[in-house]
Chains A and B, each alone.
Chain A
Amino acid sequence: DAMVIQNPRYQVTQFGKPVTLSCSQTLNHNVMYWYQQKSSQAPKLLFHYYDKDFNNEADTPDNFQSRRPNTSFCFLDIRSPGLGDAAMYLCATSRGDRRGYQETQYFGPGTRLLVL
């Protein structure tokens, strides 16, 4: 009864080589989020989708892109990974509403990205 699934759990890529991380959900939630978490730091929101509406955080580098082809799936594309992009990437979902973030978020287990 997995609810938020992230694949792969571990991803190794080379410096500058594009990489895609995937997230799927069985909760039928309309909001999906991508967070970056570096060691001993708070999860940092990169962007989120409210249905098909993409919402980018102001300080998210252009190197990070996202796609949401349907309700269930969301992808994080890192166009040219640098060493500083090595981190845990967490996907989350919520029912959400446009008034704010007062819905519980359900997280996937994360994908740990290593950049060589």
Chain B
Amino acid sequence: DQQVKQNSPSLSVQEGRISILNCDYTNSMFDYFLWYKKYPAEGPTFLISISSIKDKNEDGRFTVFLNKSAKHLSLHIVPSQPGDSAVYFCAASGNDMRFGAGTRLTVKP
């Protein structure tokens, strides 16, 4: 059962533009959401998180938005840089942790 879905397997943006990665979830018991970033040959690394009591969390170039009524969250990267090219995983937690399948972001110079 895919409780966390990232419907776009890949995304390509130009350097300097905004990258928007999307994630949908089905379980209303999830109350904490995280984004992880993964480079080739490395494990996922934590990027940013948001609690369900908030609708926005910002950390430098990275902002996560949460729309609880739509069970949707998104990660905005602005401005995008070539070093941001990686696979981004969305994760949701409550009584357990579920991951999405990831979106491969490519930022072109």
Question: Which of A61-69, A71-79, A100-108 forms part of the interface with chain B?
Answer: A100-108
Q: Given the complex, which residues of B lie within 8 Å of A6, measured CB to CB?
A: 43
21 A-B pairs (CB sep. < 8 Å) = A6-B43, A40-B102, A41-B101, A42-B89, A42-B100, A43-B44, A43-B89, A45-B96, A45-B97, A90-B43, A100-B31, A100-B93, A100-B96, A101-B95, A104-B34, A106-B45, A107-B43, A107-B45, A109-B41, A109-B42, A109-B43
Interface size on A, residues (CB 8 A): 21
Q: Report B88-109 residues with CB < 8 Å from chain A CB.
A: 89, 93-102
Interface size on B, residues (CB 8 A): 26
Judging by beta carbons under 8 Å apart, are A104 and B41 in contact? no
Mark A residues whose CB is within 8 Å of B.
4, 6, 35, 40-45, 90, 92, 100-102, 104-110
Instruction: Give B13-50 as 1s and 0s: 1 = Cβ < 8 Å from A's Cβ atoms.
Output: 00000000000000000011010100001111110010
The residue that B44 contacts in the complex, of A41, A45, A100, A107, with Cβ under 8 A, is A107
The residue that A104 contacts in the complex, of B43, B49, B101, with Cβ under 8 A, is B49
Identify the 6 closest CB pairs spanning chains A and B, nearest first: A107-B43, A101-B93, A101-B97, A42-B99, A104-B46, A42-B101
